[in-house]
C-alpha cells in the first residue's frame, strides 16, 4: 500500500461563513490552494478591533483502490507571518461553529524550538506565538528540523510559493504548485526561510500522561455535604482540562459510589450542587457540595492529570514520555501539537430494522460495502414498498433510487461517480413486507479539522500571510 499526495483531498464543509452555522458536514468542494482558499481576507476593521475567525476543513482519503489511510496525523508546520496566529483542533463529522462555543476543543499550536536538543532529553522548550495553545497529555509533539534559514529566492518569489533550489546559483526558483517538499524542492516561507525536507531530522514523540489515580483529598462525616478538600499533590504545571481527560472525584454517599467531573473551567458537574477547582494550581476555590453527604470515615478520591506543559510567557516547557531521538538545532526546528486522526476509512453504524416480522438482513456475512470515494456523512432509510422492492433516501441527500432484494443495489454518488454504498442481494432472506424499514448511518473516510485565526487588536497588515500545515500517513 502506498499513498501519494493526489490520494488525499481537502474539502470545505457545507457552510463556510462567519455565522454560528459555519461548518457542518463535508461537502465535495475542494479547498483551493490559492491565496485565501481557506480563510478570508482580514479587513482593516478586523485588524483594528481584533477578531477570531474559524474555518473547518476535511482531510479526505481519496485513494482510487479504496486503501485505508493508516494512522493519519495533522499538525501546523510554521507560525503565521503576521501579528495573528493560527490554532488547530479536531472536529466531528457534523459539528458547527456554535458547538465550539458551547464546548471548546483542545486548540493546538506551533512554535520554534527555543533551545537546541542534542538527543536523549525528556523535555523541551518551544517559543510559541501565544500561550493559548495546549499540548495533549499522552498525545504527540511533532519536532521537525525541515527548514533552511538564511536562504535567497529569485525575484518574484512570494511566501507560499513552491520553489526548487538551484545549486549553481545558490538560489531558490519558483516552480508550479505541488505538495512535494523533499529537497531540492520546498516552500518559500519568506524572511530567508524555506520548508524543505533535507534529512534534517523529523520525529513524533509521545508527551507525558502525568496520570494520578485515586489520590485521597478528604473524607466524609455523614453530615456535611461539602467537607473540606485538600489541594492536589501534583499540579505545579496546572491540572489537565482536556476534554477526554478531565479530573474525576468519587465519594460514597448513602452506600453508593458517586462521581463528580471537573470541567475545563474548574466547575463541577455530576452528583453535586456546587464546587470549583483552581485548574492553575490544584487548590479548591469552593469545596464540592455533594447532593447528599459523603459517608462517615470513607475517603473522597480524585483521579486527574497534571498538564504535560507549562508556560513562562510564551515559552512552553513540554514533558515527554520518551527521549528525544535526534539532535535538533533551534534555528531550523519547529514543534507542534498533533491531531491523531487514526485510520481514514469509510464506516457504518446505527444499523436498525423496524417493523419486520420474518425478514432478515445478514450484515455479518454480507455487510453493506463502502468506498472512500463514494461514501458521505448521511443517515439513510431503506423502506420496503412491497415484499421485494424498496426505496432508499438520505436525510440530507434525499431519494437515491429504488432496489430489489433480488439484485445488488449500489446508488451512485453523482459528484464522485462512485457508489454511496453497495447492498448485496445475498444479504436478504426471509419474508419482507411493505412498510418494513432499515436505517443506518455512513461516515466518510475523512478527518474533520477546525482552524482558528486569532487576530489581536491593532494587528498590522501582512499581505503575504500564510497558514502552513501538514499531514502524515503511515
pLDDT tens-place string over residues 2-40? 788 899 999 999 999 999 999 999 999 999 988 889 999
Domain count along the chain: 3
Backbone angles phi, psi at 439, to 5 degrees: -125, 150
Collapsed DSSP state (helix, strand, coil) of residue 247: coil
Q: Are residues 334 and 226 in the same domain?
A: no
Greater confidence (178 vs 473) lies with 473
316 and 247, same structural domain? no
Is 74 part of a structural domain of the chain? yes
Q: What is the mean pLDDT of residues 422-429?
A: 98
Alpha-carbon gap, residue 304 to 159, rounded angstroms: 44
Cell of residue 204, nine digits: 513524533
Q: Is the pLDDT of residue 403 over 90?
A: yes
Instruction: State the CB neighbour count (10 A cutoff) for residue 352.
Output: 9
Between the alpha carbon of residue 149 and those of residues 153, 231, 329, the distances in Å are: 12, 47, 11
Taking only the tens place, the pLDDT of each residue in 121-155 is 999 999 999 999 999 999 999 999 999 999 999 99
> Is 368 part of any domain?
yes
Residue pointed to by grid coordinates 506565538:
129
pLDDT for 103-113, tens place per residue? 899 999 999 99
What pLDDT shows up at residue 76? 98
Q: In the beta sheet, which residues pair with residue 207?
A: 320
Residues 330 and 462 in one domain: yes
Cis peptide before 184 (omega within 30 of 0): yes
At residue 395, does pLDDT exceed 70?
yes
Residue matched to cell numbers 482531510: 59
Mean pLDDT of 344-367: 92
Specify which residues 105 forms β-bridges with.
none
Alpha-carbon distance of 428 to 294, in angstroms, equals: 56
pTM for the model: 0.95
Provide the percentage of residues in the chain whose pLDDT is more than 70: 100
Considering the domain boundaries, does residue 182 fall inside one? no
**Edge-to-edge strands of the sheet including 347-354?**
347-354, 437-443, 378-384, 389-394, 398-404
pLDDT at position 132 is: 98
Residues 18 and 124 in one domain: yes
Q: Do 331 and 216 fall into the same domain?
A: no
Residues 467 and 329 in one domain: yes
- CA distances, 214 to each of 56, 245, 264, 403 (Å): 38, 14, 20, 56
Q: 325 lies in a domain?
A: yes
pLDDT at residue 1 greater than cutoff 80: no
Give me the pLDDT at residue 193, please: 96
Beta bridge partners of 449: 57, 90
Q: In terms of C-beta distances under 8 Å and separation of at least 24 residues, what long-range contacts does 34-39 make, across chains too? A: 35/160, 38/451, 38/467, 39/451, 39/453, 39/467
Q: Is residue 355 over pLDDT 80? A: no
Query: Do 110 and 220 lie in a common domain?
Result: no
Residue 189: CB atoms within 10 Å: 23
Instruction: Please indicate, yes or no, if residue 187 is contained in any of the structural domains.
Output: no
- Using CB atoms within 10 A of its CB, is residue 307 exposed (0-12), middle (13-18) or buried (19+)? buried
What digits encode the pLDDT tens for the residues 241-258?
998 999 999 999 999 999
Per-residue pLDDT band at 459 (split at 50, 70, 90): very high
* Domain presence at residue 152: no
Which residue, among 381, 364, 382, has the nearest Cα to 426 in the 3D structure?
364
Q: Judge if 329 and 451 occupy the same domain.
A: yes
Domain identity same for 117 and 219: no
Q: Which of 307, 336, 360 is the last residue of a domain?
A: 307
* DSSP summary character for residue 97: H
- Same-domain pairing of 301 and 405: no
Mean pLDDT estimate for the chain: 97
Residue 345 neighbours by CB under 8 Å, 6+ apart: 61, 68, 69, 372, 445
278-335: pLDDT as tens digits: 999 999 999 999 999 999 999 999 999 999 999 999 999 999 999 999 999 999 999 9
Q: Do 466 and 439 belong together in one domain? A: no
Sign for the pseudo-dihedral over CA of 200, 462, 134, 243: negative
pLDDT of residue 369: 98
Q: 422 is in which domain, residue-wise? A: 347-444
**Are residues 271 and 336 both part of a single domain?**
no
What are the beta bridge partners of residue 260? 249, 270
The answer as to whether 162 is a domain residue is no
Q: Is residue 194 part of a domain?
A: no
Provide the pLDDT for residue 27. Answer: 98
Residue-wise pLDDT for 175-210, tens only, equals 999 888 999 999 999 999 999 998 878 999 999 999
Is the pLDDT score of 357 beyond 90? no
In this predicted structure, what is the pLDDT of residue 179? 84
Q: Where are the beta strands (DSSP E) in 315-463?
A: 315-319, 334-344, 347-354, 358-361, 378-384, 389-394, 398-404, 412-413, 418-419, 428-431, 437-443, 446-455
Closest CA to 23 of 114, 116, 129, 98: 98
- Name 394's bridge partners: 380, 398
User: What DSSP state is assigned to residue 286?
Assistant: E
Cβ(258)–Cβ(275) below 8 Å: no
Amino acid at each position: 500500500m502506498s499513498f501519494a499526495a493526489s490520494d488525499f483531498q481537502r474539502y470545505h464543509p457545507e457552510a463556510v461563513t462567519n455565522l454560528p452555522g459555519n461548518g457542518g458536514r463535508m461537502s465535495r468542494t475542494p479547498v483551493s490552494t490559492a491565496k485565501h482558499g481557506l480563510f478570508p481576507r482580514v479587513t482593516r476593521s478586523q485588524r483594528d478591533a481584533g477578531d477570531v475567525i474559524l474555518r473547518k476543513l476535511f482531510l479526505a482519503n481519496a485513494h482510487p483502490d479504496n486503501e485505508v489511510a493508516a494512522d493519519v496525523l495533522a499538525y501546523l508546520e510554521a507560525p503565521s507571518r503576521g501579528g495573528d496566529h493560527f490554532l488547530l483542533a479536531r472536529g466531528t463529522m457534523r459539528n458547527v461553529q456554535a458547538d465550539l462555543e458551547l464546548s471548546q476543543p483542545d486548540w493546538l499550536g506551533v512554535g520554534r524550538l527555543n533551545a537546541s536538543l542534542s538527543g536523549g532529553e525528556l523535555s523541551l522548550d518551544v517559543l510559541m506565538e501565544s500561550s493559548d495553545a495546549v499540548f495533549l497529555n499522552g498525545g504527540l509533539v511533532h519536532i521537525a528540523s525541515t527548514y533552511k534559514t538564511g536562504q535567497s529566492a529569485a525575484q518574484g518569489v512570494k511566501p507560499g510559493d513552491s520553489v526548487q533550489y538551484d545549486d549553481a546559483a545558490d538560489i531558490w526558483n519558483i516552480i508550479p504548485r505541488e505538495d512535494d517538499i523533499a529537497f531540492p524542492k520546498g516552500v518559500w516561507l519568506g524572511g530567508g526561510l524555506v520548508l524543505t525536507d533535507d534529512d534534517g531530522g523529523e520525529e513524533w514523540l509521545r508527551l507525558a500522561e502525568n496520570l494520578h489515580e485515586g489520590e485521597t483529598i478528604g473524607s466524609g462525616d455523614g453530615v456535611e455535604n461539602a467537607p473540606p478538600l485538600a489541594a492536589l499533590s501534583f499540579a505545579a504545571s496546572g491540572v489537565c482540562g482536556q476534554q477526554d481527560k478531565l479530573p474525576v472525584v468519587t465519594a460514597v454517599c448513602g452506600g453508593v459510589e458517586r462521581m463528580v467531573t471537573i470541567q475545563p473551567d474548574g466547575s463541577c458537574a455530576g452528583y453535586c450542587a456546587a464546587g470549583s477547582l483552581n485548574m492553575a494550581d490544584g487548590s479548591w476555590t469552593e469545596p464540592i457540595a455533594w447532593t447528599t453527604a459523603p459517608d462517615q470515615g470513607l475517603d473522597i478520591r480524585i483521579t486527574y492529570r497534571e498538564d504535560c506543559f507549562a508556560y513562562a510567557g510564551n515559552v512552553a516547557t513540554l514533558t515527554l514520555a520518551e527521549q528525544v531521538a535526534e539532535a535538533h538545532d533551534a534555528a531550523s526546528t519547529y514543534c507542534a501539537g498533533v491531531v491523531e486522526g487514526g485510520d481514514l476509512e469509510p464506516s457504518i453504524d446505527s444499523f436498525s430494522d423496524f417493523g419486520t416480522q420474518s425478514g432478515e438482513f445478514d450484515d455479518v456475512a454480507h455487510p453493506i460495502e463502502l468506498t472512500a470515494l463514494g461514501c458521505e456523512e448521511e443517515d439513510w432509510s431503506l423502506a420496503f414498498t412491497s415484499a421485494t422492492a424498496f426505496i432508499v433516501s438520505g436525510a440530507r441527500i434525499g431519494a437515491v433510487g429504488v432496489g430489489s432484494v433480488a439484485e445488488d443495489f449500489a446508488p451512485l454518488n453523482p459528484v464522485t461517480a462512485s457508489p454511496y454504498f453497495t447492498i448485496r442481494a445475498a444479504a436478504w432472506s426471509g419474508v419482507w413486507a411493505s412498510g418494513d424499514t432499515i436505517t443506518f448511518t455512513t461516515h466518510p473516510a475523512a478527518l474533520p479539522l477546525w482552524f482558528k485565526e486569532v487576530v489581536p487588536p491593532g494587528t498590522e497588515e501582512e499581505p503575504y500571510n500564510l497558514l502552513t500545515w501538514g499531514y502524515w500517513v503511515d
